[in-house]
Amino acid sequence: MTHEEMRSTMAAVEERRSSRRQALLMGGAALAGLALSSRAFAQATVSDNDLLNFALNLEFLEAQYYTLAATGMTLDQAGISTKAGNGGAGGAVTVKANAQVPFTTPLLKSFAAELAVDEQNHVKFLQSQLGSAAVAQPSIDLLNSFNTIFQKALLGSNFDPFANEANFLIGAYIFEDVGVTAYQGALSLLSNKTSLDKAIGIHNVEAYHAAAIRLRILQGTSTMQVATQAISALRATLSGAATNDDVGVGLIGGALSIVDNDDNGMTFARTTSQVLNIVYAGGPAGTGGCFFPQSMNGTIR
């Protein structure tokens, strides 16, 4: 490829990206009726432990989902503690019976198993860092929550993420990108350099997970891609950000979209309040909803 051809290609990519962003903004506006105000939580007042416990809540959610999908077992059944650092019991997991996904693709089955181990390790690492200050797992809903998201995204009233491989990927898509934006938003608030370094490491792995999931969805059906676009539009609306902070997968406004990034080629960052707006699906501050029906545990809830 000549320099001129390369410049032309890059210009075309940038033009497509710009049109993609405009299309996404229009899609988010269509869901404006679902938007809720941001939670009145002053992020500047939180400690490093508050932020690490906030991350631990999210890691419990991801670890439970992938462990159930890969093995049919909850974390406790797999030998991973969900107790608080002071010994307090962890919350229950609401999920269908026999939740193990009937994988037919060996590579995807191995991928799910790797995701499960990574998220389990994130849980164990954060617990070790927090020690007695670690919160217990809150109650987690992996049954009604997905139906709520699909209803709000106007994708139907029933969705079982454990039914098949395609559904598993869409289920993973629903919160993987949220985890990336949560870590990105929290990094600047951490004061301890060691905590910051470790949080960056987890953020990077979550971004790898999200990218792999997005690519598999792109290689899947158009139905899967349309679902991600509706989910991204919903997440952007629920977050309450001033500008669009989510990008779906597939053709959007005539442009191919794979990576979830902003106009500067960077991952989106969300405040803790914006993340709570999404994982609670608009539920009231402090009382929770959707994936965390009784709210998260800790100061940030």
What pLDDT sits at residue 60?
Answer: 98
What pLDDT sits at residue 45?
Answer: 79
What pLDDT sits at residue 42?
Answer: 41
Number of domains in the chain: 1
Q: Domain containing 124: what range?
A: 3-279
Quick check: is 99 in a domain? yes
Determine contact, residues 168/116, Cβ cutoff 8 Å: no
What pLDDT sits at residue 33?
Answer: 38
Quick check: is 298 in a domain? no
**Which H or E element spans position 257?**
strand 255-257
Quick check: is 273 in a domain? yes
Q: How far is 50 from 206, CA to CA, in rounded Å? A: 20
The one-digit pLDDT tens for each residue of the chain (301 residues) are 444 543 443 344 445 445 544 544 444 444 433 433 334 344 457 999 999 999 999 999 999 999 999 999 999 999 999 999 999 999 999 999 999 999 999 999 999 999 999 999 999 999 999 999 999 999 999 999 999 999 999 999 899 999 999 999 999 999 999 999 999 999 999 999 999 999 999 999 999 999 999 999 999 999 999 999 999 999 999 999 999 999 999 988 888 899 999 999 999 999 999 999 999 999 776 789 999 999 999 999 9
Quick check: is 288 in a domain? no
Q: Could you say which DSSP state residue 263 is in?
A: T
Quick check: is 32 in a domain? yes
Quick check: is 108 in a domain? yes
Looking up residue 184, the CATH number of its domain turns out to be: 1.20.1260.10
pTM: 0.86
What pLDDT sits at residue 281?
Answer: 96
Q: How far is 16 from 149, CA to CA, in rounded Å? A: 29
Quick check: is 168 in a domain? yes
Determine contact, residues 90/82, Cβ cutoff 8 Å: yes
Quick check: is 18 in a domain? yes
What pLDDT sits at residue 252?
Answer: 84
Q: Phi/psi class of residue 267: alpha, beta or left (left: φ > 0; alpha: ψ in -120 to 50)?
A: beta
How would you label 100-138 residue by residue, b for 16+ Cβ within 10 Å and e otherwise?
ebebeeeebbebbbebbebbbebbebbbebbeebbbbbb
Q: Could you say which DSSP state residue 78 is in?
A: T
Q: How far is 10 from 43, CA to CA, in rounded Å? A: 38
